Amino acid sequence: MTLLHKTYGKGRVRVMRVHRDGDRHEVRELTVKAMLTGAFDRTFTHADNSATVSTDTIKNVVYIVARECPALPAEAFCRAVAQRLLDSYPQMETATVTGHETRWNRLAVDGAAHPHTFTLDGNGQPFARVALSRSGAVVESGLSGFTFLKSTESGWADYVKDPYTTIPETHDRIAATSMEATWAWSAEPADYEAANTRILDALLRVFSGSYSHSLQDSLYRMGMAALEAVPEIATITLACPNKHYLLANLSPFGLDNPNQVFIATDEPHGQIECTVGR
């Protein structure tokens, strides 16, 4: 028997960073997972821990980097943690650090942005992932569970029909999804947060501003728009469940239903995924 793969690290390291610029504060909350590979096979195979760093130590490195870098965006923060781990432990070969962000929006009071009060953003969770080796880095950003819909300008028609087909064609339906999106950087943008905002804006502009012949049709065009908006990304992967809103049959009650009453269900759902590159 042989050990084919090994990795370990620390998960769900929750850290809040507060950057103070006079009276104005910025808050950044991340849930971090830091995983290592390297020359610690004997910890698994021979009960020899001499080359293995404690996972508690990995957690402490996250907090130390947070203290040193309170203002870094998630991508740069994850890279700084990965770099510190490789710099500190020469027996390690790679450090992969993922940070899922809890977004806090600045509260507006009487139309003015409050300097240090925030409300929780409940839609979607941004994340950054940095896989750092001693020869280079792969940097990804993304958004998990971002949910949106439009109540018209979507259809499903001209598909394969056979004895197993029961769904009718429609040219006017609700299109809704909870998106998982990941984009890979080929170059570092001037501002990660601003670039990520442009990507999301591009995705939603296509979704909201054009007729959708299918979720597949929308996702491909959304991916193209994101690549056009931000030249520093090489690819974008979109994975979207088609959250169904089914037209309720009101005819037994003598009522019509001109696309006004729907039954909400997300099980089972269509699962549509694609990757768009240059």
Residues annotated as catalytic are: 10, 55, 244
- CB atoms near residue 19 (< 10 Å): 13
Q: What is the DSSP letter of 187?
A: S
Chain CA centroid to CA 142, Å = 3
Contacts of 232 (CB under 8 A, 6+ apart): 185, 186, 187, 188, 189, 195
What's the rounded Cα separation, in Å, for the pair 8 and 214? Answer: 41
d(CA 277, CA 236): 7
Q: Dump the DSSP string for 47-73.
A: ---TT---HHHHHHHHHHHHHH-TT--
Beta carbons of 154 and 174 less than 8 angstroms apart: yes
173 is in an annotated binding site: yes
Q: Is 216 annotated as a binding residue?
A: yes
Count of residues making up the chain: 278
Rounded to a whole number of angstroms, the distance between the first and last alpha carbons of the chain is 43
Q: Is 56 annotated as a binding residue?
A: yes
Q: Categorise residue 111: left if φ over 0, alpha if ψ from -120 to 50, beta otherwise.
A: left
Asked whether residue 55 is marked as a ligand-binding residue, the answer is: yes
Q: Cα separations (Å) of 77 from 137, 200, 211, 232?
A: 14, 21, 39, 19
- Tell me the binding residues for 5-hydroxyisourate: 55-56, 173, 216, 242
- Tell me the binding residues for urate: 55-56, 173, 216, 242
- Tell me the binding residues: 55-56, 173, 216, 242
